[in-house]
Amino acid sequence: MKLTVLGYLGAYPYDGDGTTGFLLQSGEFNLLLDAGSGTLLQLQKYLDPLALDAVILSHYHHDHIADLGVLQYDWQLNPQRNQEKILPIHGHTEDSFHFNDLTLAGVSQGQPYYETDELNLGPFLVTFMKTIHPVPCYAMRFVEKSSGKVLVFTGDSGYLEKFNDFAKDADLFLADTYLFKGNERHKAHFTSLEAGEIAKAAEVKRLVLTHLPQFGDLKLLQAEAQAAAGPQIPVELAATGKIFDI
Ligand SMILES: [Zn+2]
Ligand SMILES: [Zn+2]
């Protein structure tokens, strides 16, 4: 599978870069993973948005859904679209206002997922884990059926020991790292230290830090995570346009 970073900042776009959004591809299947601010413009560099097969959302904070409405308008108004094709948008149902917004008649259809589910989504099997966050949010574990390769995306989360199992042996661990070391046990986000410690405990093969802060030295953030993860696990920073082959 191939993961393309469309946006990697936490909270708000800054200096030309957008907030959380990734294109996850396997074979001919194109999945948009979160739809933060700026992701539609970035997506258009790689793919006609009409070629998306599905969208999946970790939660409904603005920095993860800001471009969802304009994506729906693209599908609604783009004359190229096959009117028979409806865009499935997978989200949790614990916020009915936002879940109902996933459906736009004749355009997109909200599809509920649940923590107990194993979602069969095209080439992927997806499982979920509720995170530590001010609003309901789910981490996702994607297993590519053809290869057995695993991507784990934390969504947004404060430290949660259960990630040690949930991310076990992941080929790529994509972790919310909004905070520098020294802010541990925050109610909403990992620190660099926590991202590294979980990567180590879970014995992941590669750690990518995302949901990055707008300010501060990102090289330091990376070094802090690398020190905690240990020398066996390469630690990288997400950046707009970066592509990870998994
Ligand atoms: Zn966020
Ligand atoms: Zn959030």
Tokens standing for 178? 């909004």
Q: Would you state the pLDDT for residue 25?
A: 98
In this prediction, residue 221 carries a pLDDT of: 98
Q: What's the rounded mean pLDDT across residues 206-220? A: 98
Query: Which pLDDT score, from 0 to 100, does residue 168 have?
Result: 98
Ligand 1 centroid distance, CA of 95 (Å): 16
Report residue 236 as tokens: 């990288």
How far away, in angstroms, is 59 Cα from ligand 2 center?
A: 7
SS3 162: coil
What spacing in Å lies between the alpha carbon of 213 and ligand 1's midpoint?
10
What pLDDT is recorded for position 53? 98
**Contact yes or no for 12/37 (Cβ under 8 A):** yes
Q: What is the pLDDT of residue 206?
A: 98
**Residue 80 Cα to ligand 2 middle (Å):** 34
Instruction: Using only the alpha carbons of the chain, give its radius of gyration.
Output: 17
pLDDT per residue as tens digits for the range 87-111: 999 999 999 999 999 999 999 999 9
Give distance in angstroms: CA of 61 to centre of ligand 2. Answer: 5
* Span 227-233, average pLDDT: 98
Tokens of 156: 């947004």
- Is there a contact between 157 and 140 (Cβ–Cβ < 8 Å)? no
Q: Could you tell me how far CA 246 lies from the centroid of its own chain?
A: 15
- What would the pLDDT profile of 124-154 be if each residue is shown by its tens digit? 999 999 999 999 999 999 999 999 999 999 9
Task: Quote the tokens at residue 198.
Answer: 């979980």
Q: Please, which pLDDT band fits residue 173 given cuts at 50, 70 and 90?
A: very high
pLDDT at 57: 99
49 secondary structure, DSSP code? G
Q: List, for residues 54-93, the tens digit of each pLDDT value.
A: 999 999 999 999 999 999 999 999 999 999 999 999 999 9
Separation in Å, CA 141 to CA 63, 82, 96: 21, 31, 24
Counting ligands in written order, which one lies closest to the CA of residue 36?
A: 1
pTM of the model: 0.98
Q: Provide the token pair at 211.
A: 């949901």
Distance CA 192, CA 234 (A): 14
Q: Which helix (H) or strand (E) holds 6?
A: strand 2-7
Cα 61 to ligand 1 centre (Å): 6
Cα 81 to ligand 1 centroid, rounded to whole Å = 31
Which ligand lies nearest the alpha carbon of 135? 2
pLDDT of residue 131: 98
pLDDT (0 to 100) of residue 155? 98
Q: Which of 53, 129, 57, 119 is nearest to 93 (CA)?
A: 57
For residue 211, the ligand closest to its alpha carbon is 1
Ligand nearest to the CA of 64: 1
